[in-house]
Amino acid sequence: MFVFTLLLGCTGQAYADLAGCDAALRPTPKSSGSMTFILALDGISVPESVPGLEDPWILARGLTFKVATNLEALEHDQLGTGNFVKTRFQVVACPQRQPHQAGDIENEAGLFLDNGVVLELWGSFDLDEAVFSHAILPIYVRGAGEEIRPGKVFDFAFPYKTTTPVVPHSELRFLKTILAKSLPLRAYAAVGAAAIALDERKYDLARRYYCDSRQIMLDIESEQGGLSSSDRDLLGHIERMSRKVITLAKNDADYHGVMVIEWLLPGTGCGGSSS
């Protein structure tokens, strides 16, 4: 089973405190029949004295639950090499961390990745919009071929629309809603899971997560009327890797999964076409 960990931190922490996340530095238990991915949500910067947002712990608990609910759509009982691989996502609160820019997580990124953290998420909310930064740690640490450099994060903004009449705690409800429904969050988590599955030579699972992330990216493109240049580069990487994983599987003498069948030729994309 794969586990993803989400780190959610409170506001006002100094950079020196960024390493203080025991939950993310705890080694993830490994099992031949299961994989657990860890998703990290760091501190969310919010306006001061907004009812429902003033207590970082209440904010963390509410948003962590909504992120976990979102990621349930990615959990699979995936047929693997001779058995089923169960996957799940785990969300962990991390009050000590609040990055302000992409480079702030550099010192811990490799160690987090080694301990099963696939996505680190943080953001800001100013009563106009919520902007979330997503670090897909396998890509953040290693880059992604020619498409994406190491240290890259993916930003996504959600406009805030107040309700009429004003609903109590509407700001907290807004943050909960967008994290419970966020397609970017789900897409970035899926591609991070695919990369980790490929590292573990679980080719069938990697292929499925690459194809999941591709479809979600296409859904985002349809919903938004287009993709940012960063997301377009990421989609290109996803499509390339969805094809490459077939070749890697077929060249692995220890692999006996579903991709050894003749009709799934090298170069076959998620939609079934060959490049």
What integer pLDDT is reported at residue 65 of this predicted model? 92
- The encoded tokens of residue 209 equal 């997560």
What integer pLDDT is reported at residue 27 of this predicted model? 61
- Residues in the chain, pLDDT under 70: 1-20, 23-32, 78-84, 95-96, 163-168, 261-263, 272-275
β 129-136/154-159 pair status: antiparallel
What integer pLDDT is reported at residue 1 of this predicted model? 30
DSSP 120-165: EEEEEE-SSEEEEEEEEHHHHHH-BTTTB-TT--EEEEEE----SS
What would the pLDDT profile of 129-141 be if each residue is shown by its tens digit? 999 999 999 999 9
Residue type at 187 in one-letter notation: A
| pTM for this model (two decimals) | 0.86
What integer pLDDT is reported at residue 7 of this predicted model? 42
What integer pLDDT is reported at residue 198 of this predicted model? 95
What would the pLDDT profile of 23-58 be if each residue is shown by its tens digit? 666 666 565 677 889 888 888 888 877 777 877 777
**Phi, psi for 266 (deg, rounded to 5):** -55, 140
What integer pLDDT is reported at residue 29 of this predicted model? 59
Average pLDDT, the chain: 82
DSSP 25-42: HSPPP-BTTEEEEEEEEE
Residue type at 189 in one-letter notation: A
Cα 242 to the chain's mean position, in Å?
17
What integer pLDDT is reported at residue 5 of this predicted model? 38
